[in-house]
Structure formats: C-alpha cells, structure tokens
Amino acid sequence: MKILVLLCSLFAITALGSCQKIERSTADNTQTKRVRFTEENKKCVDERLLAFQQQESCDDATIKSYTFQGQLVYVLDYGDCIADVTSEVVSEDCKVLGYLGGLAGSSTLNGTEFWSNAIFVTTVWHKLVLYN
C-alpha cells in the first residue's frame, strides 16, 4: 500500500511540474510573470517534496499548492499534532519563501498576508494512515 501511495504522489508531483513554460498573472493582474522550469529546479522541488513525505509527521500532514505573488508555491504542512510547528513554503524554483503558523502564528511572506492572497490550486499529497 505504501508503494501505491508513493507512486500516486510521484505522478502528482510530475504532472504539476512537467510544464516547460508557464504564464501566471499576479493577484492584481497588472503584470504577468514568466516562469521557466529548468530540470534542476524541477528535480529540486521533486526531491524536497519526496523528502517531506518520508519524514515523520502527523496523520493529517499535507502538501498543497497555491498561486501566490504570481508564482506556484507549495505549502509543506506537518499537520496539527504539534502545536508550534511551522509549515514551510517553497517556490516553484525551489526557494524557501518562509514559514507559516508555528508558535508566533505567522501568516506573512514577503510582506504579504498569505492566506488572504494565495489561491488554492490542488492538494499534491495527503498522508494516508491506515488503521488495523
């Protein structure tokens, strides 16, 4: 079963990151940012997402993608079983933009409130826990 979950996750990550050129508008639609995926960026993001999936995390851990400030970002959320853990936000070019939540309850990245400005794209991965 773990192999099936891993294969489904790999497929989802590959499907999201396989485009070579993407145009996305910023939230206010005043400019368009061209993003060019390189094999290096794609490999880096794939490795980061797979490493997150293999770490110990809560039963409700997720990787979700959003558009934020004109680019695709991934929120690596460990779940709710640890009150002060933060969710890492990684850009499509594999840069860590910052962290959300945690003890301080931060919700701002690059001077912009994330949750009111991010647009949900998809759930890339959700930890599957099977109980006997």
Question: pLDDT tens for residues 28-79?
Answer: 433 334 445 577 778 888 899 999 988 878 888 999 999 999 999 999 999 8
Q: Is the pLDDT score of 84 beyond 50? A: yes
pLDDT for res 22:
37
Amino acid at 59: D
Q: Which pair of structure tokens corresponds to residue 99? A: 């962290």
| Rounded Cα–Cα distance for residues 132 and 130 (Å) | 7
Q: Is the pLDDT score of 118 beyond 90? A: yes
Q: Is the pLDDT score of 4 beyond 70? A: no
| Number of neighbouring beta carbons within 10 Å of residue 42 | 20
pLDDT for res 110:
93
This prediction has a pTM of 0.70
Q: Which pair of structure tokens corresponds to residue 22? A: 């993407």
Mean pLDDT calculated for residue range 81-94: 89
CB 78 within 8 A of CB 87: yes
In the chain, domain spans = 2-126
| Number of neighbouring beta carbons within 10 Å of residue 80 | 12
Task: Give the end-to-end CA distance of the chain in Å, rounded to a whole number.
Answer: 13
pLDDT for res 104:
83
| DSSP structure class, residue 101 | E
More confident residue, 20 or 1: 1
